[in-house]
Each structure stands twice: as structure tokens, then as C-alpha cells.
A and B are shown apart, each in its own frame.
Chain A
Amino acid sequence: MSSEPAVLVARGLGKCYRTYARPVDRLKQALFGRRRRWFREHWALRDIDLDLRRGEALGIIGRNGSGKSTLLQVLAGTLPPSAGRAEVRGRVGGLLELGSGFNPEFTGRENARLQGVLLGFEPGAVEAKMAEIEAFAEIGGFVDEPVKTYSSGMFVRLAFAVQAVLPPEVLIVDEALSVGDAAFQIKCMTRMRQLLDQGMTMILASHDMAAVRSLCGSAIWLDGGVVRARGCPRETTASYVRWLFGADEAPPAAPPPAAPRAAGVARAALPPLVCPPGPGRWGSGEARVVGMRLSAVGRPPAPHGTIAHGDRLRLEVEVRAERDVPAEPFSLAFSLRNVRGLDLITYATREGGVRLPALAAGQTLRATFEVDNILPAGEYGLVLAVEQVFGDERRYLDFVEHAMLVRVTSTVRTFSIVAPPVACAVSAPAPAEAVAR
């Protein structure tokens, strides 16, 4: 086949929400809408153009509220657009949010059967595939229970199983893949790839950059309802993540600087940590991180936050006490976290057996950590915490979720989430032995 037919074409799609003061105004608008307006407008989506051919997969990324879900709903046909036009060829299946079109009162089997006939399969064909759906979902006897009794994991298992066994020609997925245990996720990924190979077309909206990169052939980044970037998934996700962390650091609301009192020997100041309290930073404030620097041991200074894979990473953190802090449960911790939110390298002085001294109000303390950078190329978030540890409980004096974005560069491709140095020895060829034929 020279050219695959276009499966999905969208031109100038837009969705405008109208907000009404009262429900009745809606009816008035529907009935006599030509002359008067009873609403206010809010454009959730604007000027979206898409072209997808058979077997292609498109990733959609963006922050919450950027219009991802709205776009998916419009393409799935569940939400009428306010402008533009789209054409979708083939059976459309949607995994929109958790369990999508499941009725919570129906049993798993009833829902599965309904989804099957909704996709356009004959009831007989659905019945014949029922055992396969059950086997894929692995939810056992729960298939005959109402799905409202399901855990979110079971919900997604069943929803995915239906789409996996009775695949649509166009699959629209919103985030669903990230639920379920690892084994099921791997099974889903494998099945998705298989279906894509068989010619299924897919649109995937996700916060999981790894899924977008590994499944999709192209990606668009939505921001405020418009396409901010589009192209190859690796680049699009990278610029999105960079922007995401940058935006979190951006507002330079300077914390009121207390008069610095000289404490101990004079040291060259660390670059200040600018991160105002908010969703990304919290804590009691009795002591806080005031400065930090990330560098590579024995390397010339690089742009701050960039480090090569395999280098020895040095992290210096300066903490200032606002009030007296006793030595006993006092601890300082950091973590390097990937875009999926997994903590890959973590360390806390307390668990590491390093005792911190007590600090009087106004005193500062500098800690230097060194670790071999086993992280593969990519973007990571640096988390810093000043904490007190009481048994299993942790109390945060200062918790900085996005202290900085760390970019790791590498010349080798890595497929694992960490890449520690591996020693490998290979023997010389052994003499040939007689091979049984």
C-alpha cells in the first residue's frame, strides 16, 4: 500500500463553553438562541488541526485544564465542538477517564457486553469473546459484581480488556494506562503496540511522558486550549517538561531576607534557592533551604543543572535556621525524581548515619552530597527536604518539591530508568565442540 488512508482529519476544531447563571437559561438559549445571549463564553479549545493515518499514534500532553480531555471528548463524539470540523473513519473506542462509558450499576460482564455492541460488534461475536475479555482483565469473580464495587485498578483492567479483545479502529485514551500494577501495565503496553502494528489508530492524552515517547509517533502540546508545540514526541515532551519545571520556579517572590548574621567561617555563597511557598513548597519554616548548587566533580562548570551521565554529581545545600533546631531528630534529604514521579536516587542524612549539629536561630549549615550519576539522559526533578524524623513519622521544616530541573546528558542510549556502571567480562572463544544435529 502506497499511502494509508487518513483516518482522522480535524480542521479548526474549537470548543467554547457557555456558562449560564441558571439551568433554564440554557433551554431558553436552545429554543430562542438566535436573537439573544444568556451566556458567557470560555474557549477551552481553539484552532486544532489534526491529521492521522491508519496505524499512527498521536500523544497529547499539557497541564491539567489545557484542553486535552476536551479535545478527546470532541474527537470521540461525546462533546459537540463549537467550531471546526472533524472526520473520523472507523469504529471509535474511547477510554476516557477511568472506565469511561461504564455504568456503575451494571456488572462487569454487562458493561463489557454493552461496550462490545456499542463498538458495533454483533452480540454473538461479543459473547464469543467474553471468556477472552475475562482472562485479560484478571478480575476473577468480580465480573458478575456491579462495577461500582470495583477498585480503580479493576475498573481500568476491565475497561482496557474490552478494548484489547474487541479493538476499535480508532482508540482514544485519556490517561487510563497509568493505573494498575506493573504487570498489567506491561501487558497493556504490549497489547497496545500489537494493536498499533495491526493498523489501529490511537490518540493518547497523558502526563506520562515515557508512555507518550514509547507509543506515539508524534505529539502535540496543548496549553490554554491551543497547540503550543507539535512534532516528534521526544522533543515535544522534553520542551514541555522543561517549561513545566521552569514555570514552577518562575515567580521570583523574594522571601523576606532576615538580617544575615555571620556564623562560622565565611564561605562563598551558594546560588540562592528561589522557590516561594505554595503547592511546590511547604513546611513549618523553622529551618529552610536558602541556597544550593549542583555540579560535577572534576569537570569545568556547566550550565547550572546540567550534568553528564556517569559523572560524579555533587550537590551542595545551604540551610538556615529561623529558630533553634535541636540536633536530635534533625535530618536533611534529597531525591532525584523522574518525570513519572518515581524517586530514583534518594538520601537522608539520618538514614545515612550522618548526625547534623543543632542550629541556633540565624545559623546556617552547609551539606555536600556526592553520588555517581547513574541516571540516563533525560529531565529529573530535584527534591530537597529539611526534616525531623520521629520513628516512622517525618515532620517537614521545609519541603521543596521542585528545587530545580536537572538535565542529564548522555552519549549512549539507555532503556532502563537507572544505568549504574556494569562490569562485563567476556571469555575468549572456546574451542569448537561437536554439535548434535
Chain B
Amino acid sequence: MTRSNTAAPAPVRVAIITPERLPDGGLGLVPPWRALWASRHVIAELGRRQVRVRHRGSFLGVLWTLVHPLLLLGVYTLVFTVLLPYGVEPGRRAAFVLELFCGLVVFGVFAETVQRAPTAVWSNPNFVKKAVFPLEALPVADLWASAFAGAVNFLVLMAASWFVAGPWPASALWLPAFVPPLLLATAGVAWIVAALGVYVRDLAVSIGVLVTALFFLTPIVYRLDQVPATWRPLLELNPLAGLVDGVRTVLFAGSPPDPGGLALAWLLAALLAHVGLVAFRAARRGFADVL
């Protein structure tokens, strides 16, 4: 009988420590995800803290999450309707700003997470060396905070869209279908970047350039249908391109998403996440030796 002197002891965990495997399970198909699920409370704790900390000490605090996108939206409106109205047909200016903002919100969840990823593990040597810590949770905690900001941004976008273009089309009900692929793909890339960042310090500096390059390879400041047909298949290899385009389609064009494309996005994102998680765990064994 186990005598317990505190509330809610977890079921007995058995850690098997060998040169080949991590104490919380092997690689394979299921164990990495089971270990990630086991660390859900850690992710939640770290994620909530990230949200708090990003605005700690400022007057508006967490309100910044709301004020920031509103200000940005104001700036874009000013730039593209007053200062730089060329290239956009006069009747589409408001719509253009909304589409731009939509792309920025979706891309922002990815970009913010991935930009923090190279240092996510590297800047926490205590968690690597001196604690029994599910390191996979670190990039995911950044994703949590970025996704929270993204969600608030998206609410602002929805409100602005209602204000400018009237009630949302019925196809907007498809929006939740885009969330899992976005989160999974982002997590997958973040894990890979975080693991690499431990070994290759240069990544922390160069990631900004890479993300900026990806920014222009994603239809944010332009629409997918504006790209010459010969180059379009190349852009479609970028899973973010499909996601941004899909979100715009269901929210602004009012047509349902391409089911094949959406299914492919789910599949690719799941694959990316799995590969990323397994790669991270494989690389994790060497972290303590490097840091």
C-alpha cells in the first residue's frame, strides 16, 4: 500500500534509464505523444506564464494583446488607404487591409513561435541539466502564448470584418478546421528549430532572415491568385500558403475550402509535427552534453 501524505498522487511512473532511451519513453509512434500528454500541465503553466510575462510591467498589461492588433490595423489602414493607395483598386482598399491583416495573424502565430524556438531550450540550461524536465514543452509553451495572441488578434479581425463587410458568410464556420493544422505544423517546425538551435548557435541569429523569407513566400501582402501560374505549385509546397489562402477563402470569399487541400494540410501538418517531435526527442539526449 502506498501511504500518501499529499493530495492526488499520480500513478506509479517507471523510468527506465539506458544509454539508448529517454527516461520518459522511447521514440516510436505513440510514446512521444504520450509523454507530451503527460506534460500537459507543464505546458499550460509555462504557456500562461509566457502570456503574463510578455506584458509584465506595462501599464496595459495583458490588454496589450488586444490593443496591439488594433493599433496595427489602424496603421495598415492609414498606409494602404491614405499614404500608399496605389496598386489596390479604390473599391477594394478596406478589403485589402482585412486580407493583409488576416494573413499577418495566421503567419504571426507561426513566426512568433519559430523565432523564439532556437533559444527555447538553449536559454533554459537549468531545465536541461539540473531537472527532470519535459523539454518538448518549451517550444510548445511559446506556441501557447503566440496562439493566445493570435486568437485575440483574430477576434479583432472578425469584428473589423463585420464592421467593414457586414455579417460573416456561412463558410466562416469552417475556420476551426484550420486551427489544428496551423498549430501542428508550427509545433513541428518549432521542435526541429529548437533542437537544432542547441547545437548550431548561428540559428538564433539567422532565424529572423529565414522567417522573413518565408513571409514573402506566403501570400500575405499578395493573394495566391496574383502569382504567375508557373510559380504557384512551388508556393503551394509551403503549408502556410495553403492555410492563409484557405482562411481568406472561407472568411472573405464566402466559399467553402478545397476539401482535398484541407485534408492534405491536416496530413502534412500531422506528419510535420510527428517528425519534429521525434527528431527533438532524438536530439534531446545530447542537449545536456552541449549546454
Given the complex of chains A and B, what is the CA–CA distance between A91 and B126 in angstroms?
Answer: 19
- B233 within 8 Å of A by Cβ? no
In the complex the two chains form, is B7's CB within 8 Å of A78's CB? Answer: no
Interface residue ranges of A90-135 to B (CB < 8 Å)? 90-94, 96-97, 99-106, 110, 113-114, 117-118, 120-125, 128-129
> Which 5 A-B residue pairs are closest in the complex by CB-CB distance?
A101-B131, A77-B23, A120-B10, A117-B41, A125-B7
- B290 within 8 Å of A by Cβ? yes
Given the complex of chains A and B, what is the CA–CA distance between A100 and B133 in angstroms?
Answer: 11
In the complex the two chains form, is A91's CB within 8 Å of B10's CB? Answer: yes
CB-defined contacts of A87 to chain B, threshold 8 Å: 14-17
- A225 within 8 Å of B by Cβ? no
Given the complex of chains A and B, what is the CA–CA distance between A1 and B129 in angstroms?
Answer: 37
Q: Which stretch, B44-52, B168-176, B237-245, touches the partner chain A?
A: B44-52
- B92 within 8 Å of A by Cβ? no
What is the number of contacts between chain A and chain B, taking CB atoms within 8 Å? 148
Known: A103-B126, A129-B7. A80 touches B288 (CB 8 A): yes
In the complex the two chains form, is A94's CB within 8 Å of B290's CB? Answer: no
CB-defined contacts of B41 to chain A, threshold 8 Å: 117, 122-123
In the complex the two chains form, is A117's CB within 8 Å of B289's CB? Answer: no
Minimum C-beta distance from A143 to chain B (A): 15
Given the complex of chains A and B, what is the CA–CA distance between A169 and B10 in angstroms?
Answer: 11
- A74 within 8 Å of B by Cβ? yes
Interface residue ranges of A1-27 to B (CB < 8 Å)? 1, 13, 17-18, 23-24, 26-27
Interface residue ranges of A52-86 to B (CB < 8 Å)? 73-86
New A-B pairs, 6, CB < 8 Å, besides A81-B19, A85-B16, A117-B41:
A78-B132, A83-B19, A87-B14, A89-B12, A100-B126, A120-B10
CB-defined contacts of A85 to chain B, threshold 8 Å: 16-18
In the complex the two chains form, is B19's CB within 8 Å of A82's CB? Answer: yes
In the complex the two chains form, is A121's CB within 8 Å of B10's CB? Answer: yes
In the complex the two chains form, is B132's CB within 8 Å of A101's CB? Answer: yes
Find the residue from B17, B22, B42 having the highest chain A CB count within 10 A: B17
In the complex, the chain A residue whose C-beta lies closest to that of B2 is A199
- A227 within 8 Å of B by Cβ? no
Given the complex of chains A and B, what is the CA–CA distance between A64 and B259 in angstroms?
Answer: 64
Minimum C-beta distance from A14 to chain B (A): 9
A-contact bits for B23-46, CB 8 A (1 contact / 0 none): 110000000000000100110111
Find the residue from B13, B15, B44, B132 having the highest chain A CB count within 10 A: B132
Known: A85-B18, A118-B42. A110 touches B201 (CB 8 A): no
CB-defined contacts of B127 to chain A, threshold 8 Å: 101, 103
- A412 within 8 Å of B by Cβ? no
Given the complex of chains A and B, what is the CA–CA distance between A73 and B130 in angstroms?
Answer: 7
Interface residue ranges of B116-168 to A (CB < 8 Å)? 124, 126-134
Residues of chain B touching chain A, judged by Cβ–Cβ distance below 8 Å, are: 1-3, 5-10, 12-19, 22-24, 38, 41-42, 44-46, 49, 53, 124, 126-134, 199-201, 283, 285-286, 288-290
- A165 within 8 Å of B by Cβ? yes
In the complex the two chains form, is A74's CB within 8 Å of B130's CB? Answer: no
In the complex the two chains form, is A88's CB within 8 Å of B129's CB? Answer: no
Minimum C-beta distance from B240 to chain A (A): 27
Residues of chain A touching chain B, judged by Cβ–Cβ distance below 8 Å, are: 1, 13, 17-18, 23-24, 26-27, 30, 73-94, 96-97, 99-106, 110, 113-114, 117-118, 120-125, 128-129, 165-167, 169, 198-199
Subset of 16 A-B contacts with CB under 8 Å: A23-B290, A26-B289, A77-B23, A78-B128, A78-B133, A81-B19, A82-B19, A87-B14, A89-B12, A89-B13, A101-B130, A104-B126, A106-B49, A121-B6, A122-B7, A129-B6
Given the complex of chains A and B, what is the CA–CA distance between A117 and B285 in angstroms?
Answer: 22
Find the residue from A73, A80, A94, A165 having the highest chain B CB count within 10 A: A80
Known: A23-B199, A77-B23, A82-B19. A199 touches B6 (CB 8 A): no
In the complex the two chains form, is B199's CB within 8 Å of A76's CB? Answer: no
Known: A18-B289, A73-B288, A102-B126. A167 touches B13 (CB 8 A): no
Minimum C-beta distance from B141 to chain A (A): 10
CB-defined contacts of A113 to chain B, threshold 8 Å: 45
CB-defined contacts of B14 to chain A, threshold 8 Å: 87-89
Contact of A80 among B6, B132, B283, B285 (CB under 8 A): B285
CB-defined contacts of A77 to chain B, threshold 8 Å: 15, 17, 22-24, 132
In the complex, the chain A residue whose C-beta lies closest to that of B43 is A117
Minimum C-beta distance from A77 to chain B (A): 4
Given the complex of chains A and B, what is the CA–CA distance between A90 and B16 in angstroms?
Answer: 11
Minimum C-beta distance from B22 to chain A (A): 7
Minimum C-beta distance from A127 to chain B (A): 10
In the complex the two chains form, is A88's CB within 8 Å of B6's CB? Answer: no
CB-defined contacts of A103 to chain B, threshold 8 Å: 124, 126-127
In the complex the two chains form, is A92's CB within 8 Å of B132's CB? Answer: yes
CB-defined contacts of B8 to chain A, threshold 8 Å: 121-122, 124-125
CB-defined contacts of A129 to chain B, threshold 8 Å: 6-7
In the complex the two chains form, is A125's CB within 8 Å of B6's CB? Answer: yes
Known: A27-B199, A125-B7. A101 touches B126 (CB 8 A): yes
In the complex the two chains form, is A100's CB within 8 Å of B10's CB? Answer: no
CB-defined contacts of B15 to chain A, threshold 8 Å: 77, 87-89, 92
CB-defined contacts of A30 to chain B, threshold 8 Å: 199, 283, 286
Contact of B7 among A86, A94, A105, A128 (CB under 8 A): A128
Given the complex of chains A and B, what is the CA–CA distance between A92 and B290 in angstroms?
Answer: 24
Given the complex of chains A and B, what is the CA–CA distance between A99 and B127 in angstroms?
Answer: 11
Find the residue from B1, B22, B286 having the highest chain A CB count within 10 A: B286
CB-defined contacts of B134 to chain A, threshold 8 Å: 118
Minimum C-beta distance from B222 to chain A (A): 37
Minimum C-beta distance from A320 to chain B (A): 50
Minimum C-beta distance from B102 to chain A (A): 34
CB-defined contacts of B290 to chain A, threshold 8 Å: 23, 26
CB-defined contacts of A99 to chain B, threshold 8 Å: 126
Minimum C-beta distance from A156 to chain B (A): 13
In the complex, the chain B residue whose C-beta lies closest to that of A132 is B6
Given the complex of chains A and B, what is the CA–CA distance between A236 and B18 in angstroms?
Answer: 29
Given the complex of chains A and B, what is the CA–CA distance between A13 and B16 in angstroms?
Answer: 12
In the complex the two chains form, is B129's CB within 8 Å of A78's CB? Answer: yes
In the complex the two chains form, is A97's CB within 8 Å of B130's CB? Answer: yes
CB-defined contacts of B285 to chain A, threshold 8 Å: 80
Find the residue from A17, A77, A99 having the highest chain B CB count within 10 A: A77
Given the complex of chains A and B, what is the CA–CA distance between A76 and B23 in angstroms?
Answer: 9
Known: A26-B290, A167-B5, A167-B6. A81 touches B17 (CB 8 A): yes
In the complex the two chains form, is B133's CB within 8 Å of A118's CB? Answer: yes
CB-defined contacts of B131 to chain A, threshold 8 Å: 76, 78, 94, 96, 100-101, 118
Given the complex of chains A and B, what is the CA–CA distance between A77 and B35 in angstroms?
Answer: 14
